[in-house]
Amino acid sequence: MGQLDSKVAIVTGAGQGIGKAVAEALAAEGATVVVSDINADAAQAVSSALGGGSSFAADASSEEDVQALVQHAVDTHGRLDIAVANAGIAHMAPLVGQSLADFRKVTSINLDGVFLVTRYAGPVIAGGGGGTIVNIASITSQAAAPLIGSYAASKAAVVSLTQTAAIELRDAGVRVNAICPGFIDTQLVVDRKADFEALGLPMPFDDLIAAKQGRYGTPEEVGKLAVFLAGPRSSFSSGSAYVLDGGARASVL
């Protein structure tokens, strides 16, 4: 018997990386998962491998798309219990010199996307008798790095939004938490190593991660925490931001 038997979940940005691993982890615990991504083919491929659920192409920054995603879950699977707002992007640029359009592109997906999941999935989950929302924030919500100012600001706002949602939805029995991963081994990080190294780091980027975190985290490790927060074992957890970074945040050296 799985921890999430009979639960229906949506996961945004689940075509690869952390979202894919979260979808797989939820499904492994018995949840019926709607795998959503802006990349329809990627979502379909993940969903086919999982079996049992469905896929739905949606841009997490689009109000129309997120509304349709929630409706799809209810129409196709009869209910919605778990929503994981995972879709996110990073744009590498110093704050000074960055265009407002580039700044807004990041916040429109990373922050608006979380707001829209709360806005549209929240009432449906509450109507079903309680459930959970898990927002994928980042360690950058708590500590900065050069070049990722728009990203870090969006993630700090996700933690704040998580707190407000937790309070507002508590009486409806909906718990809302955030996960703040450190550096996880996904394409998002791989694609940005060269930009960080161009800053003139004291050592290669991979060595810096090893020094700070011990190693890269894996998407599967984020998936395990998502299962915990989505399921009954975290029954008294709400409004919290869970750091998952191999101890990086705990260290001053």
Ligand X SMILES: NC(=O)c1ccc[n+]([C@@H]2O[C@H](COP(=O)([O-])OP(=O)(O)OC[C@H]3O[C@@H](n4cnc5c(N)ncnc54)[C@H](O)[C@@H]3O)[C@@H](O)[C@H]2O)c1
- Span from 26-34, 35-43, 67-75, 94-102 in contact with ligand X (CB under 6 A): 35-43
The Cα–Cα gap between 153 and 103 comes to 10
Check binding of 223 to ligand X (CB under 6 A): no
**Shortest CB 188 distance to ligand X, Å:** 3
CA dist 105 and 60 (Å) reads: 12
Q: If DSSP states are collapsed to H, E and C, what string results for the chain?
A: CCCCCCCEEEECCCCCHHHHHHHHHHHHCCCEEEEEECCHHHHHHHHHHHCCCEEEECCCCCHHHHHHHHHHHHHHHCCCCEEEECCCCCCCECCCCCCHHHHHHHHHHHCHHHHHHHHHHHHHHHHCCCEEEEEECCHHHCCCCCCEHHHHHHHHHHHHHHHHHHHHHHHHCEEEEEEEECCECCHHHHCCHHHHHCCCCCCCHHHHHHHHHCCCECHHHHHHHHHHHHCHHHCCCCCCEEEECCCHHHCCC
Contact flag: residue 243 with ligand X (CB under 6 A)? no
Rounded least distance, CB 134 to ligand X, Å:
11
Give 87 or 169: the residue with its C-beta nearer to ligand X. Answer: 87
Binding status of residue 19 toward ligand X by CB under 6 A: yes
Question: Interface residues for ligand X in 77-106 (CB under 6 A)?
Answer: 86-89
Which residue is listed with tokens 């508590």?
170
CB of 106 to ligand X, least distance (A): 9
By CB under 6 A, tell whether 13 contacts ligand X: yes
Q: How far is the CB of 38 from ligand X (least distance, A)?
A: 4
To which residue do tokens 């659920």 refer? Answer: 53
Q: Is 151 a catalytic residue?
A: yes
Write each residue from 165 to 204 as x if it is in contact with ligand X (CB under 6 A), else as -, in one continuous string. ----------------x-xx-xxxx---------------
Taking the least distance from each CB to ligand X, the nearer of 33 and 38 is 38
Using the rule CB under 6 A, give the single segment among 7-15, 67-75, 161-169, 226-234 that binds ligand X.
7-15
Considering only residues 50 to 79 of the shown chain, the ones binding ligand X according to CB under 6 A are 59-61
Tell me how far, at minimum, the Cβ of 166 lies from ligand X, in Å: 19
Q: Which residues bind ligand X (CB under 6 A)?
A: 12-13, 15-19, 37-39, 42, 59-61, 86-89, 109, 136, 138, 181, 183-184, 186-189
Catalytic residues, by residue number, are: 151
